[in-house]
Amino acid sequence: MMTLMMLAVTLAATQEAPQDVVPMIERTQSHEIRYGRSDGSNTWAAGPYSGTWSGRASSMNVMNMRRRNTTRTQLTVNGPGFEDGTVSLSCAGGEFEFELFWITWERARLSYVCEISRNGEPIDSRFELAFQRGRGLLRAGRNERAGQMVHEGQTVQFETQRLSGIAFPSGKVPGYVVRADGREIAGMDYGVIRSTLYLPDDDDPHREIALLTTIALATFFDPANMPGN
């Protein structure tokens, strides 16, 4: 009798096992990003989503002693779920607003911030990415990034994580994982040839915020990934 009860408990626990026992990239939809040009504008497309983008970045590095990196991006998003109008992201360096107490490493004073609007009108959304404070002449290994996206009542956190390929200390940022309430729901992999977005299912309530977060990360000119850094 006791054996049967233990078996029933085991089966119930197995049936109720959280999604995270399955790797995120195996339970999400993957969409490669394809960049192009149309009507004089740079374009992007990933699965059923598309938009325009423009950006610029500059980097100065003098013997690892003096550094200056700047980056700006303008981005629009259209597709399923955006019937109310085009969502636009305007991103650049800015001051922190979020209290990101969960970040364990020392972060730089400025962050990469995206202000977000729909049909030209600001909405209750904001994206912030924190940089690890520079490690000086002997800096090596990976550059940490982490941040948060708040979008119309929902919040997700993201941080650097390798989703594919072989790990070795290059200092480059390989990709990101996105979490909601501690659960991995999405990701972005820079890849070798093309970046890939990993998004939850179409009916998942975090689908829209996951898309906006990952496309903002994919189009970010990260100083760590620029030639010479």
Report how far residue 199's alpha carbon sits from residue 217's, in angstroms, rounded to the nearest whole number.
Answer: 13
Mean pLDDT of 22-34: 90
* pLDDT(62) > 50: no
Report how far residue 229's alpha carbon sits from residue 227's, in angstroms, rounded to the nearest whole number.
Answer: 6
Q: From 173, 197, 172, 196, select the one nearest 185 (Cα to Cα).
A: 197
Helix (H, G, I), strand (E, B) or coil at 108: strand
Answer for the pair 128, 110: CB distance below 8 angstroms, yes or no. no
Dihedral sign, CA of 78, 92, 220, 42? Answer: positive
* pLDDT(161) > 70: yes
The whole-chain average pLDDT of the chain stands at 77
Report pLDDT for 7: 36
Answer for the pair 116, 212: CB distance below 8 angstroms, yes or no. yes
Which tokens sit at 104? 């364990």
**Model confidence at 66, in pLDDT bands (50, 70, 90)?**
very low
2 phi-psi bin (left φ>0, alpha ψ -120 to 50, beta other): alpha
Domain that holds residue 18: 2-225
Which tokens sit at 198? 């990993």
Report how far residue 162's alpha carbon sits from residue 227's, in angstroms, rounded to the nearest whole number.
Answer: 20
* pLDDT(95) > 80: no
**Model confidence at 2, in pLDDT bands (50, 70, 90)?**
very low
Answer for the pair 189, 198: CB distance below 8 angstroms, yes or no. yes
Residue 50 bridge partners (DSSP): 45, 78
Which tokens sit at 64? 């690892």
Total domains, the chain: 1
**Helices vs strands, H then E, count in the chain:** 2, 13
Mean pLDDT of 152-175: 75
